[in-house]
Structure 1
């Protein structure tokens, strides 16, 4: 069975230590085999700093499974990383980007079953010339380069009790109404419906669609977008056989009885989607990128520079991301 490829993320954050902690809990949590694309010296240094007994094995993806039970498999990067917890440094940008790129390549070349990304911070990357808003957009770019086909990645936050998807992601709230379009909403929902069927093994997914404005526009009294953009998109999708319904008021969409009526909630903007799922299950929620030609998951939290190197970061979301990456890859393969 192929291992999972894990990118190290920003080494100044908690990525290295939650990767170390996840490997230490491999037996307790029944984790599938994985390897890290990172700097073996940095991981050894962070383990020593935290008093963690972790043997590091430099390897390639093909040797990862053989090492996994006894030592943490690490595929070395060409770009070295600096171990300065809590002090983000643009000098690490080349290694961070290399780790992500190589994880994509390994997954696309069937050297890894799927990929899991540790958290990155945007500012150090931007300072080094990184041209993408975040992980999701960069993964879409890499996929297009490899396949030659247009890729429109979609972010999903998947928790044990709730899955949410933002239609607009890294846009300022003031820009969201202008960014929304019927085509964007339709394409997002189609991607979600297909992924739920193929990767999450939900044959006939139910999709609740949130409105943009309070009370889903209150019949036009609180904005026209719900009636003029969102509702027509839903009608078009229903005509295609997709079980999408709404637009629904965001303030009544996430309580327990409402959640029982759908398999995922599609929301109009970032915080509308992320606040409820992180509130319900912050430590167990996973970021999943849909619409890619491979499976990618990630913890739902950021780099946490303020606690990096202190040994208090919890690996729970990363462990959940590893389990989900394995499950989605297996489900995806079973329908091919």
Structure 2
């Protein structure tokens, strides 16, 4: 079976992205199963590999079609845009703009079929904003670049999968945004993604917003009855096994125990905290609903350790593995 082509974006060059890419590509298993092409800066990648004492080699290509994926060197679509302003661990507009350019090029390559999936190293939202690219994060940026009106963020870590109804919003704004149609569409995306991944009949837990699921109106303002339950009912009418609203303080425990295949979280921290407790370095972020496959590590740029050589590449290795699996399905 031919290995899928995966475009790896280098992320913010001042963060740990280049380091975890070098470490992941140093794993023989990754190289055997993945035709990886990095969208980034060739000189910067070589500098990081030298810093790490890695034997991973890189070579420049104009386009993935030119790449020799069976060769010793990893092909790099070299945008050559790491300027002297960029330094490890330092916030800068130059680094934010570089990260944006990597993503934009990768999207172009994925949309035209030159690569089969995108796997992203972390960017820094503040650096992105300093460069004039005003997005809350990767998810919204990818949706805009692909012309997709609505997507969902899905996290996968060990024995737990989570998909979010809302993501990068303050809590009050998130609760205001939740409505039955959005809940239904999120459940549908969860169901479709798991079916595509080989889960024949996904069991889906849908979280409540309030403690104890609202306790029959004791807590909150009937959000469960007005915003969530009708969305679940609509999904169930389609034959989807969606249960809830389930109190969030038990939903994730039950999913890890094996009662559910995925949990629908209502807001960012409700879904992120349980996943990160299981292992922040091994979590994978998957954008569901895009016309292209996209996976990512589930951690940030880690400016505090960037350039020190201690970043863990396990998350990038797992993100690449998931990208390969999803690309083969797609």
- Structures share fold, TM-score greater than 0.5: yes
Which of 28-37 and 164-173 deviates more?
28-37
- Aligned counterparts of 1:133 and 1:243: Cα–Cα separation in 2: 32
**Correspondence for 2:214:** 217
- Aligned counterparts of 1:112 and 1:176: Cα–Cα separation in 2: 34
Asked if 1 retains the 8 angstrom alpha-carbon contact of 2:14 and 2:91, the reply is yes
**Correspondence for 2:319:** 321
Which of 314-323 and 271-280 deviates more?
271-280
Asked if 2 retains the 8 angstrom alpha-carbon contact of 1:253 and 1:259, the reply is no
- Aligned counterparts of 1:185 and 1:256: Cα–Cα separation in 2: 20
1:271 alignment partner, SS class: helix
1:79, distance to aligned residue in structure 2 (A) = 3.3
Which of 107-116 and 251-260 deviates more?
251-260
Structure 2 residue corresponding to 1:141, chosen from 129, 144, 148: 144
1:329 alignment partner, SS class: helix
1:156-195 equivalences in 2 (<5 Å): 156-195=154-193
**Correspondence for 2:53:** 51
- Aligned counterparts of 1:36 and 1:257: Cα–Cα separation in 2: 35
Distance 1:168 1:27, change over 3 A: closer
1:303 alignment partner, SS class: coil
1:289 alignment partner, SS class: strand
Asked if 2 retains the 8 angstrom alpha-carbon contact of 1:40 and 1:76, the reply is yes
Structure 1 residue corresponding to 2:93, chosen from 90, 114, 119: 90
Number of positions where the alignment pairs a residue of Structure 1 with one of Structure 2: 325
- Aligned counterparts of 2:97 and 2:175: Cα–Cα separation in 1: 35
- Aligned counterparts of 1:167 and 1:4: Cα–Cα separation in 2: 27
**Correspondence for 1:153:** 151
Distance 1:230 1:166, change over 3 A: same
Gaps of 5+ in 1: 145-149
**Correspondence for 2:228:** 230
Q: CA RMSD in A?
A: 1.7
TM-score when normalising by structure 2 = 0.93
Distance 1:202 1:214, change over 3 A: same
Distance 1:68 1:317, change over 3 A: farther
